[in-house]
Amino acid sequence: MRSGNRQLIRDINRSLVLNLIKNRGPISRTDIARLSGLSLATVSGITSDLIAENLVYEKEEGESTGGRRPILLALNHRARYVIGIKLMEHQITAALTDLNAAVLHRITSPLEDGQDVSRTVEALAETVEGLADRAGIEWEKMVGVGIGLAGVIDSVRGVCRYSPILNWRHVPLRDLLEERIQIPVYIDNDVNTLTMAEKLLGIGQGIDDFLTVTVGRGVGMGIVVNGQFYRGARGAGGEFGHTVIDPEGPLCSCGKRGCLEAYVSDPAIVRMAQEAVQRGELPIVPTELSAERVVALAQEGNDTARRILSHAGHVLGMGIANLINVFNPSLIIVTGEGVRAGDMLFGPMRDAVQRYEFANLAEDTEIVVQEWGDDAWARGAASLVLQEIFKPPVYESEPVSLAVSVS
């Protein structure tokens, strides 16, 4: 907690000025004072400090309104850097970004045993240090690491409460990695990190109520309500994939039956393909079974493969309709590896949404199927740090320091 209200006020004013420059820049000191309500002297003092820290720079002169042409200020996106990581059971995908979340360097590292916590922490540390070294970034300019991983994540305490993929329970990942690399670490559910990136940088900007649904290895959801992220009481909100479609349905990876994920995810598509192979309906040898192969067969015109994807899309549409009925969002973003199936999956999904939505609520909701890129997860995780950097300070938390120590 900060000592004294005066320091808190300084921090709030600094955050206000920095965010105005980030969001409105290039911008003059006079306009900053007008928009913030701060005195021009206060704005000049804060911006002088920001310039000295190389966070802000003076750009071209603005249009004159009769006097001297004002000097405009802009954020120096390359003043500091963050790293975003997608942690999986056999792989670490990491991206180094600037303060605008532009990916500058990336690395993918194998992970021998993701279930071993100590070895995973060491692998994460080596990935972070190796990426910064490869990019030629001084360690003092690294302001934080964000990590997205599947499961129930307590982002406030930095604890992975449960990850079915890693088989972790109550792992204090944030503290373990911070102790090793000595810079701030933030963790969250991987779909929440994607949603955060959409809110800060993507098509969710300026939208107060939207959902992000991911389809791939599993089915997940990120939630923004009234402009705020909703994670539930302890970080478990958004387990869309484990809403039950049919209690007598197929076995889900969670151990229960009939979850939406057991109909829609990549493993579910592979399971349905295995059943079709056993019936002699698909020309696939067992070693070739994959969701990608099913999609390829469907694209080639195989009716069975098309029926598998259509059924998955129909069930997904039922779930999406339920989300619309519960949340009445302005926007639903559907993304993830599963978008590879295209209209063969999402055509039936849209039909089912229209069939199962209530009182034409779907008319209020734009559904966007977003193309998938390998950097999306890591860029989303980097947004965890960026959110902290630009978040207005509060009594209970300290902001991420952007200051670079000078010896």
pTM above 0.85, yes or no: no
Q: Is the pLDDT of residue 61 over 80?
A: no
Handedness of CA 224, 230, 236, 242 (dihedral sign): negative
* Domain of residue 255, CATH code: 3.30.420.40
pLDDT tens digits for range 258-269: 999 999 999 999
Work out the average pLDDT over 232-240: 82
In the structure, what pLDDT confidence band is assigned to residue 4 with cuts at 50, 70 and 90? low
The residue-averaged pLDDT of 46-74 equals 80
Mark whether 236 and 261 lie in a shared domain: yes
Quote the pLDDT of residue 64: 54
Looking at residue 89, its pLDDT comes to 84
What CATH number should be reported for the domain holding residue 19? 1.10.10.10
Q: What is the pLDDT of residue 400?
A: 58
Same domain membership, residue 212 and residue 251: yes
Q: Which of 251, 197, 254, 242 has its CA nearest to residue 224?
A: 197
Give the model confidence (pLDDT) of 100-118 as tens digits: 888 899 988 888 887 889 9
Look up the domain containing 302 and give its range. 207-369
Distance from C-alpha of 35 to C-alpha of 300, rounded to nearest angstrom: 58
Distances (CA, A) of 357 to 243, 319, 347: 17, 10, 16
Contact assessment for residue 95 and residue 382, using Cβ atoms and an 8 Å cutoff: yes
Residue 404 pLDDT? 47
Whether 177 and 239 share a structural domain: no
Is pLDDT above 70 for 67? no
Answer whether 273's CB lies under 8 Å from 285's CB: no
Q: How many domains does the chain have?
A: 3
Q: Tell me, yes or no, whether 230 and 285 share the same domain.
A: yes
* Residue 240: partners with Cβ closer than 8 Å, 6 or more residues away: 213, 219, 220, 221, 260, 319, 323
Q: For residue 103, is it within any domain? A: yes
Position 406 in a domain: no
Residues 185 and 332 in one domain: no
Residues 48 and 173 in one domain: no
pLDDT in tens, 114-148: 788 999 999 999 999 999 999 999 998 999 999 99
- Do 246 and 347 fall within a single domain? yes
Nearest CA to 401 among 187, 131, 147, 144?
A: 144
pLDDT band (50, 70, 90) for residue 275:
very high
Is 400 a member of any domain? no
Q: What is the pLDDT of residue 367?
A: 95
Mean pLDDT of 217-233: 90
Domain assignment of residue 153, yes or no: yes
Asked whether residue 247 carries a pLDDT value surpassing 50, the answer given is yes
Q: In this structure, are 151 and 228 located in the same domain?
A: no
The answer to whether residue 234 scores a pLDDT higher than 60 is yes
Question: Is there a catalytic annotation at residue 190?
Answer: yes
Within a domain: 19: yes
Same domain, 361 and 233: yes
Same domain, 243 and 329: yes
Average pLDDT, the chain: 87
Domain assignment present for residue 291? The answer is yes
Average pLDDT over residues 173-177: 96
Quick one: pLDDT band at residue 394, thresholds 50, 70, 90?
low
pLDDT band at 3 (very low <50, low <70, confident <90, very high): very low
Residue 404: inside a domain = no
Of the residues 31, 98, 190, 266, only one is catalytic, namely: 190
Say if 176 falls within a structural domain.
yes
> Does one domain contain both 242 and 191?
no
Same domain, 177 and 227: no
